[in-house]
Structure 1
Amino acid sequence: MDIDEQVAIFLHIIAHNDKNQVMICRFHRSGDTISRYVSRVCNVVIRLHSRFHKEPEPVPENSTDHKWKWFKNCLGALDRTHIKCLVPSEENRSAVDGRVLRDAHHRPHGLKVSRPGYYLVDVGYTNGEGFLAPYSG
């Protein structure tokens, strides 16, 4: 299997969350082959992390962008990113944005916000260090 097909399978699985059985039919490969190559591409992506990862740049003091000039040191906006996850709880309820963010922020190697930067968040989140939610009064 050539590298283009390996990457295509990997990207398709992570973009669409398709199961191995779906990929077997779509790419006409065995389940073992699909698993092996997805694992290989994943390992390469992890090793290349330092080349792909880009630190967010804060909005500069002298910004003239009419959308962002009001948000000095803002690193970006969080939302419209959907993360499938299992959240253990007694009620087995779904996780709200704030709960997922809090979990990501408190993990040992989780989301870190460099000072004095911050992210804009929507009303699904709460204000906190590094996160600015809109006022809802």
Structure 2
Amino acid sequence: MDRRNFVILRNILRTIGRLAAPTQCVEVQEMVANFLHILAHDVKNRVVGRQYARSGETVLRHFRSILTVILQLHELLLKKSEPITSDYTDSRTVLGALDDTYIKVNVSAVDRPHYRTRKGEIALNVLVIYSPTGEFIFVLSGGKGLQPILECLGYYYPCDAKYPNVEGFLTPYRGEQYPLSE
């Protein structure tokens, strides 16, 4: 997150969300920075507390207060995409693209075999279909059976070569070089 977006988020949380620092020793800016640090780097509150000379309990309390405000402001912070209807008249033949990624997760030791990737990491596979404007149309986390879902959506989505070349997928031909302009 760049500085401009950080300031915008901090101001929204402070003004609209009425987030206030619990003491004069801690500012809202530090609370938001700690919150984002925990989310972005998947670290424990005591680790962040050590970096900012705060107790783990204090960091956790601030994290929970910011999370509460963000959940209250979800209508403002999370953009809802318009559903694609059956009478879609855009002249383009491709509605978006399909991609997946692994997101590292912390799970109990019992569940780790279910989340282990082929490279040995503990992660959740998330499939995303997004529109040409970059809006998320569909998100599937850790699920199997993508083909029936794509057939229900009724459109073709370009994807990379790891997907099968079947109904709903537009994969590149193996061994072909495609210019970026195409």
TM-score after normalising by structure 1 = 0.59
45, 53, 57: which one aligns with 2:78: 53
Count of residues in Structure 1 that have an aligned counterpart in Structure 2: 120
**How far is 1:9 from its partner?**
0.3
Which residue number in structure 2 is paired with residue 5 of structure 1? 30
Distance 1:125 1:49, change over 3 A: farther
Structure 2, unaligned stretches of length 5 or more? 1-25, 128-139, 144-148, 175-182
Distance change in 2, residues 1:56/1:123 (3 Å): farther
Evaluate the alpha carbon distance shift between residue 52 and residue 78 of structure 1 in structure 2; reply closer, same or farther with a 3 A threshold: farther
Aligned residue in 1 for 2:43? 18
Query: Equivalents in 2 of 1:101, 1:132: separation in Å?
Result: 17
CA distance in 1, matches of 2:126, 2:164: 10
Structure 2 equivalent of residue 132 of structure 1: 169
Shift of 1:122: 3.2
- Structure 2 residue 133 is matched with structure 1 residue 104: no
Check whether the contact 1:9–1:38 (CA below 8 A) recurs between aligned residues. yes
Structure 2 partner of 1:78: 99
Separation of aligned partners in 2, 1:35 and 1:49: 21
Give the superposed CA RMSD. 4.0
CA distance in 1, matches of 2:157, 2:77: 21
> In 1, Cα distance between the equivalents of 2:42 and 2:95?
35
Q: Which amino acid aligns with 2:28?
A: I
- Conserved 8 A contact 1:120-1:132: yes
Counterpart residue type for residue 94 of structure 2: K
* Contact 1:122 1:134 (C-alpha < 8 Å) held by counterparts: yes
Alpha carbons of 1:10 and 1:115: their partners in 2 closer, same or farther (altered >3 Å)? same
Residue 44 (1) aligns with residue 65 (2)? no
Structure 1 unaligned regions, length at least 5: 63-68, 107-111
Deviations 1:29-60 (Å, cap 9, x if unpaired)? Answer: 111100111111112222222222224578x8
1:126 to partner: Cα distance? 5.5
Higher relative contact order, chain-length normalized (CA < 8 Å, sep 6+): 1
Supply the distance in 2 between the matched residues of 1:32 and 1:16 (Cα, whole angstroms): 19
8 Å contact kept, 1:78–1:121: yes
User: Structure 2 vs 1, CA of residues 119 and 19 (structure 1 numbering), >3 Å: closer, same or farther?
Assistant: farther
Judged with a 3 Å threshold, the aligned counterparts in structure 2 of structure 1 residues 123 and 49 are, in CA distance, closer, same or farther, namely farther
Tell me: CA distance 1:105–1:32, structure 2 relative to 1, closer, same or farther (3 Å): closer
1:23 Cα deviation after fit: 0.8
